[in-house]
A = this chain, B = another copy of it.
Amino acid sequence: MREFELIREFFQREQADLLLEDKAQASVILGIGDDCALLQIPANQQLATSVDTLVADVHFPADAKPEDIAERALRTNLSDLAAMGAEPLWFTLALTLPKSSNYVSEEWLRGFSRGLFRAANKYEIVLVGGDTTSGPLSITIQVMGAVESHHAMRRDGASIGDFVCVTNSLGDGAAALAVMQNRLALNADHEHYLRERFYRPTPRLIESGLLKGIASAALDISDGLVADLNHICEASDLGAVIDVENLPLSPALLAVGDLQQARTWALSGGDDYELCFTVSPEKMPELAMLIAQEKINATVVGEIVAGVGVQCELEGEAYELTAQGYQHF
């Protein structure tokens, strides 16, 4: 199949079918099919954009289901918009596909397209352009969103005494990998839960909208809490202490039956796509209210302190982390 037909068949037509009747659609002056997409940013808003590449057998098993690969690729990118407090608008897809292969076929593309638009539809983000090339399987997605001027959640806003919080639970991403690589076996419900967390992580867009006036700094946890919190520390020129006993762990993670392993995954496993954010003591009542109203699931896991780097403590004693965060290289 030739490039133009391929793009038309699986992406352009599919996108047209969706016809999102919301502001994302209205803001697309010109979508797929010209030299550039032409896009209208809402008035008084800034463009927030982030790009990520997923390579077969590096970021996902090459024989994973194409629906799953696509959903994960778009959802993890949306997580970067959530981390910034931006609302999703548009994305581009650069897809490199092997010319001949026993796992990438028309059927594969159909599945990929199905997963991609399922996630795109759910989070109301519109495909506005892309590129299809032949080569080893990899997927590059760039998401674009909008955030009110001066309201973005950045990494450099933390202050001494701010509380360090995370949404939901940590460590599930690493545990899911262990299950998929047959290093861990749990009951079917727990394994299903972990697989879903891995392939369909929830970008914390609702939480992010609520936290915008509350958090002093924020990011999403892709490399592990310690590594990512360290980015807030570096950007804010401060240090942090994590209280390991307070790490929120899912029932599946607790079912592993090895608390030290679970905590290591929560601290340094990565692939969680939860938000890590800091809140000043003055703003804590507002966060507590959101938690009490069950509008947000968040836990205080530490504090911003003077100094450099992230220290872990268990019941007040120094806690040695046995592994580091995920490194691509």
Contacts from A to B (Cβ < 8 Å): 1-3, 6, 29-30, 33-41, 46-56, 58-59, 80-81, 83-84, 86, 92, 94, 96, 99, 128-136, 138, 140, 142, 144-145, 147, 149, 152, 154-156, 219-220, 235, 327-329
Q: Are B94 and A140 in contact (CB under 8 A)?
A: yes
- CB-defined contacts of A138 to chain B, threshold 8 Å: 96, 133, 135-136, 138
Closest Cβ–Cβ distance, residue A113 to chain B (whole Å): 16
- CB-defined contacts of A152 to chain B, threshold 8 Å: 29-30, 36, 38
Q: Are A49 and B154 in contact (CB under 8 A)?
A: no
What's the Cα separation between A80 and B131 when bound, in Å? 13
Q: Are A36 and B50 in contact (CB under 8 A)?
A: yes
Closest Cβ–Cβ distance, residue A181 to chain B (whole Å): 18
Q: Are B130 and A96 in contact (CB under 8 A)?
A: no
Q: Are A6 and B38 in contact (CB under 8 A)?
A: no
- CB-defined contacts of A86 to chain B, threshold 8 Å: 36
Closest Cβ–Cβ distance, residue A288 to chain B (whole Å): 25
- CB-defined contacts of A128 to chain B, threshold 8 Å: 49
What's the Cα separation between A56 and B220 when bound, in Å? 32
- CB-defined contacts of A327 to chain B, threshold 8 Å: 2-3
Contact of A41 among B34, B47, B56, B328 (CB under 8 A): B47
Q: Are A96 and B53 in contact (CB under 8 A)?
A: yes
What's the Cα separation between A220 and B36 when bound, in Å? 11
Q: Are B83 and A35 in contact (CB under 8 A)?
A: yes
Q: Are A52 and B136 in contact (CB under 8 A)?
A: no
What's the Cα separation between A38 and B49 when bound, in Å? 7
* With known contacts A29-B46, A80-B35, A53–B140 Cβ distance under 8 A: yes
Contact of A36 among B36, B145, B235 (CB under 8 A): B145
- CB-defined contacts of A34 to chain B, threshold 8 Å: 84, 154-156, 219, 235
- CB-defined contacts of A35 to chain B, threshold 8 Å: 50, 80-81, 83-84, 155, 219-220
* With known contacts A39-B49, A52-B94, A59–B235 Cβ distance under 8 A: no
What's the Cα separation between A147 and B58 when bound, in Å? 38
Closest Cβ–Cβ distance, residue A137 to chain B (whole Å): 9
Ordered by A's residue number, 18 sampled pairs between the chains whose C-beta atoms are within 8 Å are A3-B328, A30-B154, A36-B49, A36-B145, A39-B46, A41-B47, A51-B131, A51-B142, A53-B133, A53-B135, A53-B140, A58-B133, A58-B134, A58-B135, A96-B138, A132-B329, A133-B328, A134-B329
Q: Are A37 and B53 in contact (CB under 8 A)?
A: no
What's the Cα separation between A84 and B85 when bound, in Å? 31
- CB-defined contacts of A147 to chain B, threshold 8 Å: 38
What's the Cα separation between A147 and B135 when bound, in Å? 33
Q: Are A48 and B58 in contact (CB under 8 A)?
A: no
